Amino acid sequence: MSIQKECADRLRETYRALSGKKLRSGHAHELVAAYFGYGTAAALQSDAVFPLSSLDGAEIMIPDIAGMDSRRVGLAQLPADLPSSKDLADVISLRLVENGHFHGEIWDATYLSDDINGYIQRDPMVIEDELAGEIATTNAHFDELYIDETDVAFHEDSLVATLSGSLNGEQDQDRAFHGDKIKFTSIMTMRRVASRVGYFNPEFETGGSVDDSIYHDPELL
């Protein structure tokens, strides 16, 4: 049985258990396709570049909730009491995990910046390692990393996020002050592996410099 059919069958079973009524097989398959980022079930089935069968190789998945909402509008005679797209997506996600098709993290597209920040905060060294040269010039101890802005772009084969923020620290009082804040920009790239929502773990390219905006030229005082 295909992954798409497994998920569609679970949607139908869930709706029948909740309402005692039937969800059409065609409707269920279209909603599953939308979850995986496709406009139609046929488009999902015909994707030979990022096939759904490769989902077990993905490390992060971002279900297309907005796509499910949009697809619902175009499905004639869809039950009015069908659960929300978010609830249906949770049903599909659980099925994928239970059946061993996916083993990674599931991010919420609605709050994607929060999930990106959460990933970085669990392992801030993905950014700090590339700022080692700047850190060495400051004589400070850094332990606070903040993401101020997140700009996400979806491409045909990847998701690319441009992150801007600051790395803040505490100056070593026994050494001369050379700054305790580094501003940085990091490009986070996640390569697609399966369907339009399954990705490998992020890769980061980061650059930054010591923030000297609070310094004053003694000659101007």
Domain boundary at 74, 106, 138, which?
A: 106
How far apart CA 53 and CA 2 sit, in angstroms, is 8
Structure confidence at residue 134 (pLDDT): 83
Domain boundary at 106, 135, 167, which?
A: 106
In 3D space, the residue among 220, 161, 157 whose CA is nearest the CA of residue 194 turns out to be 157
Domain boundary at 50, 75, 106, which?
A: 106
Asked if 91 and 46 count as a contact pair (C-beta separation under 8 A), the reply is no
CA 75 to chain centre: 27
11-69 pLDDT tens trace: 999 999 999 999 999 999 999 999 999 999 999 999 999 999 999 999 999 999 999 99
Q: What average pLDDT does this structure show over 178-185? A: 82
Structure confidence at residue 213 (pLDDT): 63
72-104 pLDDT tens trace: 999 999 999 999 999 999 999 999 999 999 999
How far apart CA 188 and CA 218 sit, in angstroms, is 39
Half-sphere exposure of 145 (CA within 13 A, CB side): 21
DSSP state of 73: H
Q: What average pLDDT does this structure show over 116-135? A: 92
Structure confidence at residue 10 (pLDDT): 98
Q: Please count the structural domains in the chain.
A: 2
How far apart CA 84 and CA 66 sit, in angstroms, is 11
Residues 88 and 151 in one domain: no
Residues 172 and 203 in one domain: yes
Three-state DSSP state, 109: helix
Confidence band for 178, pLDDT divided at 50, 70 and 90: low
How far apart CA 167 and CA 126 sit, in angstroms, is 13
Residue-range definition of the domain harbouring residue 26: 3-106
Residues 10 and 95 in one domain: yes
Contacts of 94 (CB under 8 A, 6+ apart): none
pTM: 0.88
How far apart CA 86 and CA 64 sit, in angstroms, is 9
Residues 92 and 169 in one domain: no
Q: What is the dihedral of CA 145, 151, 155, 157, to 10 degrees?
A: 0
Tell me which amino acid residue 42 is: A
